Structure formats: C-alpha cells, structure tokens
A and B are shown apart, each in its own frame.
Chain A
C-alpha cells in the first residue's frame, strides 16, 4: 500500500503565509501541516509515500528528505504547472502502485484516520465535519450508497468529503479519464459505479484562510509531540503538555499552560504567560510580562514586553514592539472583499513585519508580508485585496 500526497499547489487564499512556503509547510502546533499527514500515514503502517511537489518544492524536500527520519520511504514527483489535483494524482501514480491512499497535503486530519482507512476492505472516502464549503463536496447517503453533492447552501457541521480517499489504480484511472475538473467532481461522477465505504475522521480541518490556522493549531495539539530540552530557570510554572526545544531558555517567573510547543533557541520571559494552544517556532524571543494564548508565532520573531496576543498568527522574522495588543474583538473579518464571521481571532500578521510600540491591532486585522505599523497606531482596517 502506498500513499500519494498532493502538495504542489500554492494555496493563494492564505495570502502572505504561502508567499515563502507551500501551504503544507505552514506550521500548526509547531510542525508543518504535512508533518502530521506523513506521521499519520506512517503510523498506519504505510511506509511508501509518493509526494507530488511543485510550488515551493525545495522546502518540502529539505524538510522530509528521503523520509527515513519519519520511518517512511518518500519518492518525489514533480508537477511544475498548476494543472489541478487530478493531474497531480496522475503524476504521483508510480508504476509499482496498486492500492493507495490519496492525501491532499493541505488538510489537517487526526492521525488515526489513516489506520481506519487502511483497515477498510475496499475503496473508501474519509469524511469529516465541515466548517464551511470546500472544493471536495458534501457526502450524502442515498439508499446506503454514498453520493457527493455540491448543492446544499449550508455546510457547517455537515458531513463532507475531506479529499482523502482509498483508491485502486483502476478507479484512479477512471477518475483521470472522467470529465470532472478536479477530484471532488470526478468522484461525484464515478461514485455510482463503485462501492465506497465512508470512514469518519475524528478531527478534520480544511485550512483555507489565515484564521483557519488558529483553529488548525488548536486541533493539532491533539497530536502534540512531547519533548523537553533547553534550560528552565527557577520559579517557572509548567502545567499541561508543554514541549520545549533545544537551546531554549525559559526565564524565571514564567507561567506556561499547555498545550504549548516551543521550538529551538527561544528565549521566553522572565515573567511571561504563555498558553494554552500556543506554538512558538525557532529563535523566538518573548519579552517580560507579555501574555500569549491561542496563537502561532513563527520562526525568528521578537516580541517585546507587556504585549497581549490572543488568537494571533505572526509570520517569520517579524518584530513586535512593547505594549502591543492583538486580541479578538467582536467584529467580522473582511478578506478579499468577502465578510467572514469569526469572532475569536486577533491579528494575522505576515512574514517580515514590524509592529511599533503600543500599537493596537483590532481583532480580525490582516496584515500582509512586510507590514509596518507605527508606534501608538490603532489598526482596524479590513483587508482589501485583488479578488482571488
């Protein structure tokens, strides 16, 4: 049994966060989305992984190598043109393939999903509870037979297809030769002809928009890998699942409430409060008396003193001054001229940004790469971009 992971796409709706990396390499719970998929696949007993890469392929190949650090045997296939998921699957179908699990690389699913898929006897689709519409479609059962539909206006909490499926080469070739434009559509056409079992995933998160990273991050902590390195000074309180990387220093008086994952070479505190659901990348510095919860802070960020960050994403290499506030407020998010009702998000800040001292970023603010906010500014502008 193989797995084919499709991770050649760009993920344009994530804006800034995919400018320097493919979507699957965005960290949630301090590991790239793809990391969860690869480990989940391996723990189900599947070692052979065909990875279809394209956009930002080098960051994927550098991270996973030949897979031996993950207990896998990874081969790479290249999709240089953006010709869609069906074409990607075709590229990833090596000659030695028989049955395989197809995995689009931009979904987070709990790792047990793969064992369940693998244990199923024949063809199978992995379903999950939806937050909103995705390109994969809704699964409906009609006389016990699954059907994929795209017609219900409501998606929230309904059973949707995750894009992850167990296929054989025969069915896969039928999908490729069907008139569908992508895998969801092709399956819609092919389903009546074959018997598919529906397998339910415990957690599924389809990451499409920047604020999805926050909910993805919360969910990813279900798979938190615990490690404890670095130096922990006196009078540090640690509760819950807290991972601390190599060379990291937790300064005195700091309060860490898990789940938290902290990378290598970070300096936290003294007297900071971090957690729950916080992932800090490598080389992150958090100044004294700052409080961070429910957030993703990526590599090489510097956060000053007395900051309050909640529900916030900060991209690589950003500098956040002192007394900066980025916490949720009760308003909708405007993104690419659409309104989204998400009330528990702080600010989403792109790579290489500089936020001045005493800046206040209202909930739902989205700042693209290299944003600069001056000292004392109140930022509440909605994001207006080219439509996608």
Chain B
C-alpha cells in the first residue's frame, strides 16, 4: 500500500505535494514524510496521520519534493521507519511503496561494507544502494541498484546534485506520471494529481522514468530510451471533501443512488459487454476478489447461476492465484473458462496476480474495476468500469453496490447469450435494475429508523449476521462492515449453519441480524429465527414491507422497500452500512481510517 507523490516545477512544491498526499491517505496513514531540496536535502517525517507531520514541517521554497504516506509492513509505525529514507549524509532521499524481499541479505552485505542503518524498514537499503552506485547519473544509480533487489516496489528518488529531477520506477505496484505546464508529477494514482493535470503517462513495470519540469525521459530495463504515450483521463467531478457530512463513509453511503445511476448509464447505454466476445459456450465461471469485492462476487454467483445455470465459483484472490490449475474446466470441455476479477482500485496485488495466472492458463478474463486506466484494466481481456467515483472511506460502500450491479448485468448478458433469457426478459431485468437507485433512496430516507437500533449493539460481545441464499453474502458483508469500523467482533453465517456450532455462543449479549426475504428460503429462515430466539439472543430481522410473520417472532425488525427478492441485496447492503456506521459512531471509532487498515492493498 503506501502512497507516493513527487513534484518538480516552477512553483513552491511543499503545499502541492501535501495536498496531493492527502488524496492518497486512504493508502495508509501510519506515518508520513516529505523530502525537499534546500541547499541540502531536508527531510521531515512523523508517525501518525499527515496532519502530524504538517505540524512540524518548516516552510520551504523548494520547487522539488517527494512525499510518502505509509502503511506499515516491515517495522512498526515510527518516526524512524517513516519515509523518505536517506543515506548517511542526506544526499539521496527515497520513497518506496512495496516490499523488498531480499533486504536482509542486502542489509547484511552493506553493513559489512560499513554502512550504518537507523531504521527497521526494508526501504532503507534503497538510498544506501543508490548512493553507493551514484557516479553522477541518478538514472544509472537507480538502474544498478535494481539489479540487486527483489520484491515489489514503486520507488521515487531525488538527489542533492539534481535540483529539479525525480527518478522513479515501478515493479508490480502503481506509478503514474502527470504532465503539467513547466511542472510534472509522479504519484501512486491519478487522484493525487487530477487537480493539477489530466495528462497522464502510465509507465510499465521496470521502466525507469526521469522527470524534470520540462522533460520526461523513459528508459527500458536496459536503459534504452523509449517513446511514451500520454493519455488524457476524465476529470472526476467528485472531490475528496466531506461536503457537510461528518465522515467520508456516510457521504459515500448517501452517494450510492448516484453511483448506481452513473454506472447504469455506462452499462446500459455505452454497454461495454457488447464489445466483449462472450458468445462461446462458457463451461464455468470463476469470480476472484478480496474483501468486500469478494462478497459482491458471492452475490454474483447466486445471480449468475440462477440466470445461466453455468457453475460459478468464487475465490479469494490470494487463494486463487496459488491454487492448482483445475483440469477439465478449460481443457476437457473445450469451453474456455471465464474469470471475472473484481478490484475497486485495479491495483490490488493479489487480484492482479490472479488475473495473470488466469490468463496464463488460457482463461478469458474480465475485470470489474472502479479506476479507468488502472493496472488490471490493462492486463485483462475485457473491462467493466463501475462509475462510483473516488471512494475515500476505507470501508467499501458504494463500490460494493456498483460491483454487484455490474455482476447482475453481466449475468443477464451471459444468460441472453446462452439463450436462457429472451429479449423481453432481458428488458424486464434492465427495467428492474434501473429502479435500484430509487429503492435504496428509500432506505437512506429511513436512516433514523436504523439509528434507533444502535442501543441493541453497543454492549454486544459479538454480533451474528445470518441470511440464506443470495442474502448469505450480505450476512458476511454486514459482519465485515461492523467489525472493520466498530471493532465489535462479528460473524456472518448461512442461517442454517448456526446449529452446526455457533449456537453454542448465543446468549443475551450476542444480538443477531437476520435477513428474511420472501424467496424460496423464507419459511426455513423463520424457523432459524425461532431457534436463535430460543437461545435468548435478541433477533433484529430485515424483512420486506408488509411481512406478517417476522414482526411476531423478532425482537425488532426493519422493513426494506418492496423489491424482487433477487434484487434485495442492494437495499439490505445499505441497511448494513448505515447500521455499522451508526454503531461505530456511537462507539467513537475513527470511521474513515480504521486502525491497521488501508484502502488499496498493493502488497500480497
């Protein structure tokens, strides 16, 4: 994770870099730091959020700067482990995102050669190596250092002898170059620079780039100069400000109707699916993702299987990429498997690796992603872009809904291709999906009702979320939301599974959220609620409007708007998000930046 920015130009770098760095705070907020060019290099770094560092940062007129916000992997969050790192006489400063796998060996060798280290960070070897190899050309010094290291990294370097130069390289972690007017930027993602420029260069792995205010030089891994392509990205109208809301998470929850609607325009009108050649006989589908995206994938499984009768498996990216290639899905049935990768950022390391593994095995790969131009969109066969806008809160909200929506539309599209949906049925689905923004608006409008449920949870030892069928993943997602922002232990279970173990944990201090939609599992779920009530656990049930049974057997209930049960995950998700938010708010946790977490996970 970690976020990197750099600026070289004709303006005062400090404020620009800090402003950009704050856009990257979602990538980590354990510590931050900045390196500036005065007579010598000046480095200022501090544990904690960027504001901590800002407080102690002296004013500088330097027009060159690199900065970093850290999510700790090697070494605890501390001032010493914060970036930028420098060599002993502060001639080189380096910011690094990623991990150096062989840093211990290199460090031992360097220590034998007499170099001193001041931190526990793997990154500290970088300035020392670069300084050791430096002979007047920073690009060469970085190039020589790269041949020693193994790992994944984005590195940006400045040197006191090169007052307007930043040299950078990437290997499996993100790096973009932003082109301005007599000023240029390097950064971990486009959001950091969009305020200043929409002209972006995306360097490939192992290409070294030298950036000065007036020039960009790109080199391949043997330092041969390369041509580069400048792409113009769409300016995002949403800005990273809370606009009256107390937290980004709440703002983003309330942005969901718009996010769904914007994504619909993309899905139904521009229809990226028509551009994909998906009309072969697909024998199997794998959905691969992490975290909340994984839960969206699980919902997708139920929908796609129901619509197409094609078997769908859902895997965590970190597991999928190391799994043995399954014989038969591709080879024997001679039907190329379809692999759908879901990643909000398009940079998630494990999901990227899974995409590569899938392609190698000859699968057709589709990415569902929220960041156009991101790494994954460049590597897969087809892309479905969700139009959620930037999501800042670490707990995913609007991207979950737009990802689910993308999978529903993908499902109907596959079903249509395979003949299980005809034209009018496809239209009917489309018109039902188009109603989602209004349905979830109704849940948002009843947020006071959700807030009133909070007292049931603040003293809970543990909370269980249960659901069946398509709402089982929502139980998982509800539990994930609650634990990540409120730190209350929570678990999601299929409602029928409690009796195989977890019932042993139930009691008065373990409230239960049950999702009871009137689908084919409804009557079974009602019996499950009775089972749980019998163990004295307070049961709060989500039901459809006008439900006759649920109010009689639940301690509390919440009605979601009338909706086909197959589309109920959307309003149910909004309920889960708001409930977790209000509980966390009551408990006073740092909702937008839960401890130990970061938004985009670019380490494995």
- Enumerate chain A interface residues (CB-CB to B < 8 A): 20, 51, 53, 56-62, 64-69, 74-76, 230, 246-249, 264-265, 282-283, 299-300, 302, 316-317, 351-352
Contacts and interface: CB of A to CB of B under 8 A. Distances in A.
Interface stretch (B112-120, B185-193, B401-409, B438-446): B438-446
A66 B269 contact: no
Given A57-B244, A246-B265, A317-B438, A62 B258 contact: yes
A68 B269 contact: no
Interface stretch (B412-420, B429-437, B507-515, B547-555): B429-437
Given A265-B264, A282-B261, A68 B241 contact: yes
Contact of B237 (A69, A74, A265): A69
A302 to B, nearest CB: 7
A148 to B, nearest CB: 33
List of 5 A-B pairs having minimum Cβ-Cβ separation, nearest first: A65-B243, A76-B244, A247-B269, A247-B265, A61-B244
30 contacts: A20-B442, A51-B244, A57-B244, A58-B444, A61-B243, A61-B251, A61-B254, A62-B254, A62-B255, A62-B258, A65-B241, A66-B241, A69-B237, A69-B239, A75-B244, A230-B269, A247-B266, A247-B269, A247-B270, A249-B269, A264-B261, A282-B261, A283-B261, A283-B265, A300-B435, A300-B438, A316-B438, A317-B435, A351-B438, A352-B438
Contacts of B237: 69
Contacts of B434: 283, 300
B238 interface: yes
B243 A20 contact: no
A20 B244 contact: no
B239 A299 contact: no
Given A61-B245, A300-B437, A316-B438, A264 B265 contact: yes
B255 to A, nearest CB: 6
A351 B264 CA distance: 20
B162 interface: no
B268 interface: yes
A249 B251 CA distance: 31
B242 interface: yes
Nearest to B240: A66
Contacts of A51: 244
A64 B245 CA distance: 11
A25 to B, nearest CB: 12
Contact of A65 (B239, B264, B442): B239
Contacts of B441: 20
B438 A64 contact: no
Given A65-B243, A352-B438, A265 B238 contact: no
Contacts of B268: 247, 265
Interface of B: 237-239, 241-245, 251, 254-255, 258, 261-262, 264-266, 268-270, 431, 434-435, 437-438, 441-442, 444-445, 447
Contact of A265 (B243, B251, B261): B261
B67 to A, nearest CB: 23
Contacts of B262: 264
A74 B244 contact: yes
Nearest to B437: A300
Nearest to B261: A282
A75 B245 CA distance: 10
Contacts of A53: 244
Nearest to B237: A69
B438 A299 contact: yes
B431 A302 contact: yes
Contacts of A64: 243
A62 B251 CA distance: 7
Contacts of B251: 61-62
Contact of B264 (A74, A283, A316, A317): A283
A365 B536 CA distance: 53
A276 to B, nearest CB: 26
A282 B444 CA distance: 19
Given A65-B239, A317-B435, A351-B438, 12 more contacts: A58-B447, A65-B244, A75-B244, A230-B269, A246-B265, A264-B265, A265-B265, A282-B261, A283-B264, A299-B261, A300-B434, A352-B438
Nearest to A77: B244
A66 B243 contact: yes
A355 to B, nearest CB: 16
Contacts of A58: 245, 254, 444, 447
Nearest to B270: A247
A93 B527 CA distance: 56
B261 A65 contact: no
A264 B239 CA distance: 21
A66 B255 contact: no
B239 A68 contact: yes
A58 B246 CA distance: 11
A62 B447 CA distance: 15
Residue from A56, A57, A282 with most neighbouring chain B CB atoms (10 Å): A282
A352 B445 CA distance: 15
A300 B257 CA distance: 12
A148 B66 CA distance: 62
A209 B60 CA distance: 59
A20 B439 CA distance: 11
Nearest to B243: A65
A187 B244 CA distance: 30
Contacts of B258: 62
Contacts of A352: 438
A125 B241 CA distance: 34
Contact of A299 (B241, B265, B266, B437): B437
B446 to A, nearest CB: 11
Give the most central of B251, B258, B434: most A CB within 10 Å: B434
Contacts of A69: 237, 239
Contacts of B239: 65-66, 68-69
A65 B438 contact: no
Contacts of A282: 261, 265
Nearest to A316: B438
A315 to B, nearest CB: 10
A67 B244 CA distance: 10
Contacts of A299: 261, 437-438
Contacts of B264: 265, 283
Nearest to B269: A247
Contacts of B254: 58-59, 61-62
Contacts of A60: 244
Q: Which of A61, A74, A316 has the most CB of B within 10 A?
A: A61
A74 B243 contact: yes
Contacts of A230: 269
Contacts of A66: 239, 241-244
A293 to B, nearest CB: 25
A252 B434 CA distance: 23
B494 to A, nearest CB: 33
B445 to A, nearest CB: 6
Nearest to A69: B237
Nearest to A264: B265
Nearest to B444: A58
Nearest to B253: A58
Contacts of B270: 247
**Most chain A CB inside 10 Å of its own CB: which residue of B237, B251, B438:** B438
Nearest to A76: B244
Nearest to A245: B265
A265 B260 CA distance: 12
Contacts of B447: 58
Nearest to A351: B438
Contacts of A65: 238-239, 241, 243-244
A73 to B, nearest CB: 10
